[in-house]
Structure 1
Amino acid sequence: MSGITPRKRRPTQIDVARAAGVSQATVSSVLRDPSKPVNRIPEATRERVISAAEKLGYSPNAAAQRLVGGRSFLLGFHTFEEIFPADQTDFYFDFLLGVEREASRRGYDLMLLSPTAASQNTRGAFGSNATARRLLVADGGILVGRHVDNALLAELDANGHPFVLIGRREIAGIEVPYVAFDYASATARIVERLATAGHRNIGYIGEPGGGEQTEDRLEGYWRGIDEAGIRASSVKHGAPLTPAELERWVTERGITAVVVEPGDDDSNIARLVEAADALGLGIPSDLSVGVLGDPPFTAAPREWSRFVLSRYDVGAAAVELLIDILDEEDRPRQRVVAPEIVEGSTIAPPRTGSPKR
């Protein structure tokens, strides 16, 4: 996946323990109050731990410092768009379900944060970001949405407040902890399936302003194109293809298949169907279609050939990662979940000769 190389992750107590040659429990005892001796821990050991922490630039977890007893066992869940109450057909519903059930299984309560409330109160003790200030109530936060606020992520990182983003995000100088879908590999597999069916001219219809998700899908698209040895291809972002544009793709460029990046719904897929219908093109008899995701298919219901995103699993994985961060576990802070490929019925071998019109 492309992006700016992030800085090295924040040192943990495990890192300090390794550098000092002691257990994590010893490090925890010493760093609870570095100015005071600790019973049963030799002074030389205490000084070695403090020295290792200073050399590594270790700073204590901000959440753990807030409470004498350790944690509130409360996790914040913040969305960058207004999505509550979430309907069962909503794009975000399964994220929330996975977060809620995994948090409950781990013994944590969940606090939902409203983006509207945050925008109405923009100043406070935690810098100028009201959402960041609200997240301080919880041990850590899980954030989700299409329009991610980079300034909020930077402020949380700068203040050492644990958080996990659902979805990949690259910010210069920050290693953003996230759980994301492996869009690149899944897209490459859809292109591979089209190529195996005999398609050599495959178009790409992209979602405008898709950010890292679009970058990852495009990476997978070009990877699949290269691996299949396909030379001719077309890419369009922004408004859906008009009938005139689709006609040029088919008649002038020889395109026999397209892959489509959906948004939160299937409206752009429905527009493609309308354009094909206007030209008398059958799907998949004249034009094969692979959908790069699984939005709620309400405008264009069909058994689409696609990949399915397990939002429930990603929500649960985000909780698991956040608790790993709270526990200072030495595990990767950026994780991906592989989508499942669904065969569907919208990919077929290309028609020989001109399409029926």
Structure 2
Amino acid sequence: MAGRRLTQKEIAKRAGVSQASVSIVLNGAERDRKRIPDETRKRIQKVINETGYVADPIARRMAKGRNNILGVFTYEPAFPRAQADFFAPFLFGIEAAAQEQGYDLLLMTSAERDASGAKRIFGEPNRMRIADGCLLLGRKFDSRDLAQLVQGDFDYMAIGRRDEAGGPVDYVGADYAEATRALVERARGLGHSRFAYVGQDGGAESIADRWTGFNAGLAEGGNLALHLPEVGLPAERLIEEVRASGASVVFFIELADAIPFKRAVTAAGLRVPGDLSIVVLGSHVRPDDTGTRFATYAIPREEMARRAATALIARLEGRDYETQTLLSCDLIEGETLGPINERV
């Protein structure tokens, strides 16, 4: 049989049973399979084991309505060398949930790209329907894709909070707004009243949520002394801007911007914390090259993905699930946030 797929008819012939019995054992509902005598089922299973037969997933989909495959679509490369620390926990969580519940994963890598070079879910080639449903990952989603998913009949779950797209989007996300507000509150509790913010204030929902939380914290006390939405200044020049503004604490969206800033602050003879405090809005697995433990919060990436995959499976199987979930982020004290002019 090398080189071609074994058919159910051939399995039936080898087992000495009807093809209908083979089809029920392979694809039938549990109540139908129970009607097949134990001896018949054992003979069919013996042939399957001996031949290494694998059911055609498309045929199984037609017979059962699903084939226990979850698609995983990422708007950015799933395994980038520069950002492996960002995506890896998501993939760990997806794999764990799929393995626990008997599902396989299909990584969508052949998606069409639009005129700007951005990936699109829908287009040619499109193999989405091979999977029963799909998990969506990315820093920023295409709103047209989301609108088509919301209005269509294909099951999905987004990992990360998403704005409405012609209707509510199903997602499991992290509560960046509350975690950021809590960090501002912590800084205020240490005596900080003038804040600098380095990073965008909009675009992707995760970025907008951080800005919302930051302003919510300032509404309770303190003021924004400096906001640099586009990071392009050399670290030394950024220090001058921060010092001129009178800010005593700097909030960074990106760890990659905080690292050279902290290094430059130290090189200038200033203390972190003490003369300046630094906060990073969201933890990263990759440590910086100085070994600094920044004040930040832990984003539950693996749990977000596991919960999203579990919810998608429940949706596929007709069970109740949470359509929109935000998980809390635990604050990490670190060593870069302290009282103003702290003496060590």
**TM-score, normalising length: structure 1:** 0.71
Structure 1 residue 277, shift from structure 2 partner:
3.8
Structure 1 pair 86–78 and aligned structure 2 pair: CA distance change class (3 A)? farther
Are residue 147 (structure 1) and residue 136 (structure 2) matched? no
List per-residue Cα deviations over 1:240-280 (Å, max 9, x = no partner). Answer: 55423432322x32211111112xxx321123224424543
| Residue of structure 2 aligned with 1:253, choices 231, 245, 251 | 245
Amino acid in structure 1 at the alignment position of 2:167? I
SS of 1:179's partner is strand
- Gap regions ≥5 residues in structure 1: 1-62
SS of 1:347's partner is coil
Structure 1 residue 140, shift from structure 2 partner:
0.4
| Residue of structure 1 aligned with 2:196, choices 186, 199, 203 | 203
Bigger CA drift: 311-320 or 267-276? 267-276
SS of 1:130's partner is coil
List per-residue Cα deviations over 1:163-191 (Å, max 9, x = no partner). Answer: 11111221441211111110000001111
Structure 1 pair 87–256 and aligned structure 2 pair: CA distance change class (3 A)? closer
Asked if structure 1 preserves the Cα contact closer than 8 Å seen for 2:218 and 2:224, the reply is no
Amino acid in structure 2 at the alignment position of 1:76? G
Amino acid in structure 2 at the alignment position of 1:161? F
Which structure is higher in RCO with an 8 Å CA cutoff and minimum separation 6? 1
Distance 2:280 2:210 in 1: 11
List per-residue Cα deviations over 1:16-72 (Å, max 9, x = no partner). Answer: xxxxxxxxxxxxxxxxxxxxxxxxxxxxxxxxxxxxxxxxxxxxxxx9x95331321
CA RMSD in angstroms comes to 2.9
Asked if structure 2 preserves the Cα contact closer than 8 Å seen for 1:94 and 1:312, the reply is yes
Structure 1 residue 326, shift from structure 2 partner:
1.7
Greater radius of gyration (CA): 2
Structure 1 residue 118, shift from structure 2 partner:
1.8
| Residue of structure 2 aligned with 1:310, choices 290, 300, 303 | 300
Distance 1:287 1:249 in 2: 9
- Gap regions ≥5 residues in structure 2: 1-57, 116-120
**TM-score, normalising length: structure 2:** 0.73
Are residue 236 (structure 1) and residue 205 (structure 2) matched? no
Distance 1:121 1:218 in 2: 29
| Residue of structure 2 aligned with 1:213, choices 206, 215, 229 | 206
List per-residue Cα deviations over 1:129-161 (Å, max 9, x = no partner). Answer: 237x31211110001012322222222333210
Structure 1 residue 315, shift from structure 2 partner:
1.0
Residue 187 of structure 1 is matched in structure 2 by 180
List per-residue Cα deviations over 1:174-227 (Å, max 9, x = no partner). Answer: 211111110000001111111111111111111487511111001110111112
Distance 2:261 2:159 in 1: 29
Distance 1:107 1:194 in 2: 46
| Residue of structure 1 aligned with 2:72, choices 54, 74, 77 | 77
Distance 1:215 1:128 in 2: 26
What fraction of aligned residue pairs are identical, expressed as a percent?
32
Aligned residues: 278
